[in-house]
Structure 1
Amino acid sequence: MLELTLARGIWLTPDLLAWPPCALGEHAASALDWALHAAPEGGIDPRAAEPVAWQTFPLAVEPALPDDIVAQHPHLARAVALWLPPGVDAAETLRGQVVVAAHDASGTLVEASGVQNGPVLDRLYPEAVHARLGLRWDAGVPSLRVWAPTARQVDVLLWPSGAASTDAPRRLAMAPASDGTWSITGAPDWAEARYQYAVTVFAPTFGRVVENRVTDPYSVALTVNSTRSVIADLDDPALRPPVWEDTPSPLLGHAVDQVAYELHVRDFSRSDELIAPELRGTYAAFTEDGHGRRHLARLAAAGLNTVQLLPIFDYASVEEDAARQVHPDPSALRSAAPDSEGPQGVVRTPRRSFNWGYDPWHYQVPEGSLATAGAVDGAGRTREVRAMIGALHGLGLRVVLDQVYNHTDGSGQGATSVLGRLVPGYYHRHDRDGEVSHSTCCPGVATEHAIAEKLMVESVVHWVRAYRVDGFRFDLMGHHSRATMERVRAALDALTPDADGVDGRAVTLYGEGWNFGEVADNTRFVQATQGQLGGTGIGTFSDRLRDAVRGGAPFDDDPRVQGFGTGLVTTPNGAAVNGDAGVRGQQLLRDADLVQLGLAGTLRAFRFRSQETGEVVRGDQLAYRGQPAGYADEPDEVISYVDAHDNETLFDAITMKLPPDVPMAQRVRVNTVCLALATLGQSPVMWHAGSDFLRSKSLDRNSFDSGDWFNHLDFTLADNGFGAGLPPASDNAAHWRFMRPLLADPSLKPDAGAMLAAHEAACDLLRIRASSKLFRLRSAAQIEAKVSFPVSGTWAQTSGVVVMLLDDRRGEGVDARWDAIAVAVNANAWSVRQEVPAMRAGGWAVHPAHEAGADAVVRRARCDDGVLALPAWTCAVFVHPR
């Protein structure tokens, strides 16, 4: 098959290539004649007869690659080895078109394809990992350096500060170096100039040499809509607002102390009438006394200590010039019926103003659409982001950024492709067919390649040094290797207050440790997935607790699957997918075990008696969808949560799962129980913004591009967003039949009183977690010593109840006030009496946060001679004084 724009061949070392056997069909590799064709200007046609205008090198075929090569590239274990003859200049050859071709004995072309160049470029230019790339300042003089080892020529195109966008640039030649970089030293008057690189390079997707005009992947500032990079000095005092300069980062005692609030910058203030219209939806709104800031202050006073921001790096999907944005007709949206199809048809406008931002363009520059109009062009974004971070630090809140290094918006010669136009073929991972991988939804970045990994590591360091960021959440972290994540950790740990202005050891790291795609099951490297990060201090989100509490999984065909926290047995919704009473009862026991394990940090070695079997089990002996449920070695390797920006909000999941006739007051209690199970366990915690007050996205399971309308976030607690119409068809139409009657039911939309009650109950959970280090034990050893589930799997166990005992009398004490704490969760729709023999000693009382809290129902909970009286849908915490 003639597929010269694909890259089935893999060039590994200067003298060795690999060819995947799956691409050969019925042909035996050893029976074919193999050759590498090279043409500086392109134009190769492997079917052409001799003589030809390009070089051809015969390739010696062997059935297997050397063992050391397979160890480095395990996905090539069955690949054919193709050896080049001596004397081939690999570096020069890679500056043109390269094709591997195979012919049978009759001379018929069997296969031909381009090659993947990542491994060999890493071999040819090992010193590039030490190069200082991007913009640097030395005594007021800027310099630029870019890695483009396959380029014929690289020039910088320069537009002086103040030049019109239509003015012709100055063209200045950059000097090449042996490490594959090109550099130029400028002059002081280059400050605030705009620039691009003009890279003369062979583009495989076009089959010819082109001049690509491209921005700097290490840009620190950009023009509107990312057309040009800006030579900005981020140390300029004008970019260092006092609120950022003078406000220190709040510190955690340990990573397990983190309680994060996941928030989109635009959502935070877009509907806030206390904020000036020109500031709404921007970084600047965080510095204003608006409803959002007041809400965060209330949460911080209760115990929230971190804000986790959805992507704020430069992304491609949103028009950055507010004057050019197209907005849906607000009157048409407001007039639509709660179950109407109308709103979903208009929210995804051209030149839109909203997106979650998981489509990276430039990793080190703040997104312009989130800046005020006067700051979009140039480095003003930096000042506004710093002021935002300083304002959050002033509330006692750390700032975690959501980073997306696993993919980019564009690749190849695409309009938003920076990396692919600088070094074609290098930065993106290819699948078994030679196509750029899209398992992450977008072109996947091959961070196993040295300079791709370098960009990731140095970008993380940049955000910490230049912005004083306190942590990172990595999107689809399982598409990176454990080794890459360890290098990120090491680079941060090397930052010191004296040298860098920050203590990098205090920066927290965690991400999505899902295992899928072309890298699944350690196919290419040991992945940064659940259960493979032991000892790193890097956390992964736990789907175990999430699914057990909510029921089902995020991508179920029927969203009505119920779980421990959503009435599986006690409030069945009648959906056949949940099974009969016997099936539901058995599933509830399994869910309860996963809940208990989650409360104990999802530790693989934690032992407790199973509710389902009555046997003592380890965490890794419990099953979760064919995998061990317990996977962490230490509690900071897990993030507990029950909802996030993706999939339905907690309120929406509860709405889909509970029977419609459950009163709103009970729905509030269900919400609190679900949050409690994520909040009072032995791991860092994340809440999705608004979960504390019943936020809805009108049942939208993927609101990434659903605009302000479906992503409504109202910190006045007046409107939770439910009933905004049927959510966009592309991600939800298969569930519209379930959604429509719910959205049309006015009893399912909470009023302000219900939203306030949920918020106040959630704040009490924060106060409880903050009240004792027993909720935040720092090691598996401490958890093993102090955490137990005393009635689980015993004769005393009541179905739908979990009791966790935190006993500070065992091991070294961590709490000066209480020698024991008990967390009792009744997920039944009725009150229960739960006998707990371990609590027969007198002196137990409900937690002071309950006594002083807004929930009168939980104050009715009692412990009398080891018998707990627990109201329906209640999490009650009891304390025993020293």
Structure 2
Amino acid sequence: MDLSRQRAHWIDRSTLVWRFEGPVGDRRCDLVWSPDAALRIIDGALAGPHETVSLRVKPGGLTTAQRRQWPHLADHAAFTVEADEDTIKRALRSQVVVSARDDGGWLLVATGVQLPGVLDDVYADAVHADLGCRFHHDGGVTISVWAPTAREVALEWDNGEILGMWRDDHTGVWRVDGDWGWTGRRYRFRVQAYHPATQRIETMSVTDPYAVALTADSTHSIVANLLDPLLIPADWGTLRKPPPISAARAQVHEVSVRDFSIYDSSVPAERRGTFAAFATPNSTGMRHLRRLADAGVTHLHLLPAFDFATVPDLRADQLQPEGDLAALPPDSTEQQERIDAVRARDGYNWGYDPLHYSVPEGSYSTEPDGPRRITEFREMVAALNGIGLRVVMDVVYNHTVAGGVNHHAVLDRIVPGYYHRLLADGRVADSTCCANTAPEHAMMGKLVVDSVLRWAVDYKVDGFRFDLMGHHPKDNMLAVRAALDRLTPQRDGVDGRAILIYGEGWDFGEVGGNQRFVQASQLQLAGTGIGTFNDRLRDAVRGGQAFETNPRSQGYATGLFTDPNGDEVNGPPEHRRARLLFQQDLIKIGLTGNLASFSFVASSGATVTGGEFYYNGARAGYCALPGECVTYVDAHDNEILFDTLAFKLPAGIAPLDRARMQVVALSFTVLSQGMGFVAAGSERLRSKSLDRNSFDSGDWFNGIRWDATAGNGFGLGLPPAWDNGDKWPFAAPLLADPTLVPGADLMEWTTERYLELLRIRRDSPLFGLPTAVEVQDRLSFPLSGPTETPGVITMHLTGVDDLIVIFNATPATVTQKLPALRFGTFALHPHQRAGGDAHLLQSVFDPATGVFTVPSRTVAVFTGSL
């Protein structure tokens, strides 16, 4: 018997489920609660003042509907709770326990109770409540918080003044009313409630989970009206968005706010690493983004830019590593040691540790203490829109940085035990790395939708990338999509239908395999228009898989079979050709937008669809619409593309040829159907000195160095031991090799090749076809099958003018014969001809034979007709 665990589940007002050993019928079970949290087990008996309701066994167990809603509880014994609503609400504001006794009254077992289900049932109308600060046209202000299990809630001003709040017993919402004179005042809620983490009645001082403004380091919420003219930049109301673009046509660049400008000497020092850097129009970084936007990048994806917990907001409080890191050897361990010494208090973190979901991050503001972060975020959006880029926010609603009574636990100190997903014994699940939230619970699902709408309407954000989206119910993501679709320019100032949604559709953890609900995972979002990252193409292009131990496993663009690196991780030589052709099949499916329905001839010789082709036991093709596929070969996670190539390509390949292989890999993000996605800087050979997980590695390993004469970030020392130590034997000799550091001219050469590909996509409707039917009709791989050239993929797109795209990842010039195109008028695409790359200009078509010739390590696009 252990009251510190919660092994029973009160799923609605009349039903409780509980799994325990032995027969149920010979036990007397009770629901027990103590308003003062006085229950204890003493000498095998339940002691302390309490109230009790008898539980009656439900012979048939859960109903079909209940099993559908609670699949992970389907095999539990079910009991009927016979109590009126007032009694239930009184119990819910107490310590709640269930007990089982034998016929003689002897206590057999007792455990705590998980309450989210019954809270959602009893307080169902709370989903319609307005929470946080609400300003009224008559000059009034209401501050509200949902805290149905609290005994008392009060408003604390930062001067110590306490205002009582009144409870709406129907919704469980507590309110206090004031006037606009409260604007700018700093507050917290004082919540008195039973907390299962401590098994006590706790009095907790906590910020507002619906806060719209915060003090530095998020110590207090601030009363603020986002419609206040003082918080609205000039021309915000008449901001002109770039033209709407479908997901199938989108090209996304991913960057951290801090990475973008922290080393940009053209940005004033106080603005570096902040939102304000994007509003510095003539900076080196913004000029580069303008080049990308002009060529065809449509969206800038920002790593988490909401309020997160792990960075001091004030620059004066942020520690710096000691000494001159640039003076240390390129393969030294000292750089990462010095960063390790300060990383808990430096200015760097990716930000996947949410604190307040709907407030811009303070450390990214030039004035974190107050509302300046609001105006600077808006100015950033306006500046990016002004150069033709829409803005995507990386949102992390799947977990919070902490739970329990931790000072960073906002949600769990408001409604203890509700907002997080609990395991069978009541512990908070942490499969996402932190305290997992539970968007399947009504008010957490509401928080997700409300927060997204806040960013969409009040900050005019153009897209959302959901971190670990597979931990959300599909229904929650559909609710987000529906809420956005209802936004109109006339009423809301934005066109919600033009807002992108995509995310990580991974299937794992306590929700894996739909254990608790139908997940928003890769295989279950077909037809929704919500995008997921295509790891199939990524792995085929790069080689290996995420989190691999040996980084030398090769793929299509890293030399498998065609440029062997000699490592046994790549398997016996006689198997490598077949493995490469299998990878080419995966890439072809990816080129279609990873469509489940697309039919083609595989390397086996069989005609298959994407959904009939399998990778790691799962369907390779799973999308119903091309725009549901996010095609990528690198992102903030795992090694950036340059570092991947450094690990995998054989030694001795010339820097220019490495750059060509980088372009080959990037080409799939541009020339595929569906959305393309690139980690910022990969177009200019950016490196993180082989760091595979740089979330806490400081500016040194992460910051983009816009001055190309300073190098690309390679050879900055061995990457941090805490996430890369197992790869040091592979990394050290590479970092010590000065020939792997590209010169400024090669970085610019690579950028130009990438821009050429973007312009080709931008100018042709054949890239970004809207439907699976059009893709099947217009796209083909004419040389697919067992005789296809290893390392070469030929793609044919038909339209007013046909396009032939030949991806040659081999170290030799290749010929591809397409007899059906004899006597055609095909020539290298004008954008590639205009680039003047002498090597690429060797790409030619012979109309007499129908033979296309493409030089080594090159992607050539031909345009023409028969």
With normalisation by structure 1, the TM-score equals 0.95
1:625 corresponds to 2:616: yes
- SS of alignment partner, residue 850 of structure 1: helix
1:838 corresponds to 2:820: yes
Query: Residue 9 of structure 1 contacts residue 115 of structure 1 at CA under 8 Å; is this kept in 2?
Result: yes
Aligned partners of 2:239, 2:45: CA distance in 1, in Å?
72
- SS of alignment partner, residue 7 of structure 1: strand
RMSD over aligned CA atoms reads 1.7
Q: How does 1:378-777 map to 2 (within 5 A)?
A: 378-610=370-602, 612-718=603-709, 719-777=711-769
> What residue identity is the alignment partner of 1:302?
A
> What residue identity is the alignment partner of 2:657?
Q
Aligned partners of 1:109, 1:683: CA distance in 2, in Å?
61
- SS of alignment partner, residue 145 of structure 1: strand
1:38 corresponds to 2:38: no
With normalisation by structure 2, the TM-score equals 0.96
Q: Which residue of 2 aligns with 1:814?
A: none
Q: Which residue of 2 aligns with 1:819?
A: 801
Q: State the Cα deviation string for residues 491-516 of structure 1 (Å, max 9, x = none).
A: 11111111111111111111000000
Aligned partners of 1:609, 1:519: CA distance in 2, in Å?
36
Query: Residue 350 of structure 2 contacts residue 696 of structure 2 at CA under 8 Å; is this kept in 1?
Result: yes
Q: Which residue of 1 aligns with 2:136?
A: 138
Q: State the Cα deviation string for residues 187-220 of structure 1 (Å, max 9, x = none).
A: 2211111111111111121222122111111100
- SS of alignment partner, residue 42 of structure 1: coil
Greater shift, 358-367 or 282-291, is seen at: 282-291
- SS of alignment partner, residue 640 of structure 1: strand
Q: CA deviation at 1:242?
A: 2.0
1:61 corresponds to 2:57: yes
Aligned partners of 2:47, 2:296: CA distance in 1, in Å?
76
Query: Residue 61 of structure 1 contacts residue 82 of structure 1 at CA under 8 Å; is this kept in 2?
Result: yes
Aligned partners of 2:590, 2:543: CA distance in 1, in Å?
14
Q: State the Cα deviation string for residues 328-352 of structure 1 (Å, max 9, x = none).
A: 1241x22221111111122141322
Greater shift, 711-720 or 454-463, is seen at: 711-720
Q: CA deviation at 1:36?
A: 2.4
Change (3 A) 1:560 1:40: same
Q: CA deviation at 1:306?
A: 0.8
Q: CA deviation at 1:6?
A: 2.8
Aligned partners of 1:50, 1:382: CA distance in 2, in Å?
53
Query: Residue 760 of structure 1 contacts residue 854 of structure 1 at CA under 8 Å; is this kept in 2?
Result: no
Query: Residue 312 of structure 1 contacts residue 401 of structure 1 at CA under 8 Å; is this kept in 2?
Result: yes
Q: Which residue of 1 aligns with 2:353?
A: 359
Select the residue among 76, 79, 84 that pairs with 2:76: 79
Query: Residue 326 of structure 1 contacts residue 353 of structure 1 at CA under 8 Å; is this kept in 2?
Result: yes
Q: How does 1:133-532 map to 2 (within 5 A)?
A: 133-139=131-137, 140-159=139-158, 167-242=159-234, 244-288=236-280, 289-331=282-324, 333-348=325-340, 349=342, 350-372=344-366, 375-532=367-524
Q: CA deviation at 1:256?
A: 1.0
Aligned partners of 1:29, 1:267: CA distance in 2, in Å?
60
Q: State the Cα deviation string for residues 251-283 of structure 1 (Å, max 9, x = none).
A: 233221110100100011100111111111111
Query: Residue 40 of structure 2 contacts residue 47 of structure 2 at CA under 8 Å; is this kept in 1?
Result: no
> What residue identity is the alignment partner of 2:79?
L
Q: State the Cα deviation string for residues 636-667 of structure 1 (Å, max 9, x = none).
A: 11100000001000011111111121111110
Q: State the Cα deviation string for residues 23-50 of structure 1 (Å, max 9, x = none).
A: x4x5444454433221001121244547
Change (3 A) 1:379 1:854: farther
Aligned partners of 1:666, 1:105: CA distance in 2, in Å?
81
Change (3 A) 1:362 1:479: same
> What residue identity is the alignment partner of 1:458?
D
- SS of alignment partner, residue 524 of structure 2: coil
- SS of alignment partner, residue 40 of structure 2: coil
Q: CA deviation at 1:248?
A: 1.2
Q: How does 1:96-107 map to 2 (within 5 A)?
A: 96-103=94-101
Change (3 A) 1:112 1:752: farther
Select the residue among 771, 775, 779 that pairs with 2:771: 779
Change (3 A) 1:243 1:733: farther
Aligned partners of 2:640, 2:833: CA distance in 1, in Å?
29
Q: How does 1:788-803 map to 2 (within 5 A)?
A: 788-793=780-785, 795=787, 797-803=788-794
Aligned partners of 2:91, 2:164: CA distance in 1, in Å?
26
Q: CA deviation at 1:531?
A: 2.2
Aligned partners of 1:38, 1:336: CA distance in 2, in Å?
63
Query: Residue 232 of structure 1 contacts residue 378 of structure 1 at CA under 8 Å; is this kept in 2?
Result: no
> What residue identity is the alignment partner of 1:371?
S
- SS of alignment partner, residue 773 of structure 1: coil
- SS of alignment partner, residue 242 of structure 1: coil
Query: Residue 99 of structure 2 contacts residue 110 of structure 2 at CA under 8 Å; is this kept in 1?
Result: yes
Query: Residue 39 of structure 2 contacts residue 47 of structure 2 at CA under 8 Å; is this kept in 1?
Result: no
- SS of alignment partner, residue 683 of structure 2: helix
Q: Which runs of 5+ in 2 are unaligned?
A: none
Percent identity of the aligned residues?
46
Query: Residue 46 of structure 1 contacts residue 109 of structure 1 at CA under 8 Å; is this kept in 2?
Result: no
Query: Residue 245 of structure 1 contacts residue 390 of structure 1 at CA under 8 Å; is this kept in 2?
Result: no
Q: Which residue of 2 aligns with 1:871?
A: 855
- SS of alignment partner, residue 400 of structure 2: coil
Query: Residue 196 of structure 1 contacts residue 215 of structure 1 at CA under 8 Å; is this kept in 2?
Result: yes
Q: Which residue of 2 aligns with 1:112?
A: 110
- SS of alignment partner, residue 4 of structure 2: coil
Q: State the Cα deviation string for residues 373-413 of structure 1 (Å, max 9, x = none).
A: xx211211110000000000010000000000101111121
Greater shift, 94-103 or 756-765, is seen at: 94-103
Change (3 A) 1:30 1:657: farther
Aligned partners of 1:78, 1:666: CA distance in 2, in Å?
60
Greater shift, 88-97 or 50-59, is seen at: 50-59
Query: Residue 17 of structure 1 contacts residue 81 of structure 1 at CA under 8 Å; is this kept in 2?
Result: yes
Aligned partners of 1:875, 1:511: CA distance in 2, in Å?
29
Q: CA deviation at 1:800?
A: 1.2
Query: Residue 6 of structure 2 contacts residue 424 of structure 2 at CA under 8 Å; is this kept in 1?
Result: no
> What residue identity is the alignment partner of 2:685?
L
> What residue identity is the alignment partner of 1:55?
E
- SS of alignment partner, residue 753 of structure 1: helix
Q: CA deviation at 1:106?
A: 8.0
> What residue identity is the alignment partner of 2:517?
F
- SS of alignment partner, residue 835 of structure 2: coil
1:95 corresponds to 2:93: yes
1:852 corresponds to 2:850: no
> What residue identity is the alignment partner of 2:597?
A
Query: Residue 39 of structure 2 contacts residue 46 of structure 2 at CA under 8 Å; is this kept in 1?
Result: no
Change (3 A) 1:77 1:756: same
Change (3 A) 1:881 1:169: farther
Query: Residue 199 of structure 1 contacts residue 212 of structure 1 at CA under 8 Å; is this kept in 2?
Result: yes
Aligned partners of 2:771, 2:46: CA distance in 1, in Å?
70
Q: CA deviation at 1:594?
A: 0.5
Aligned partners of 1:262, 1:688: CA distance in 2, in Å?
5
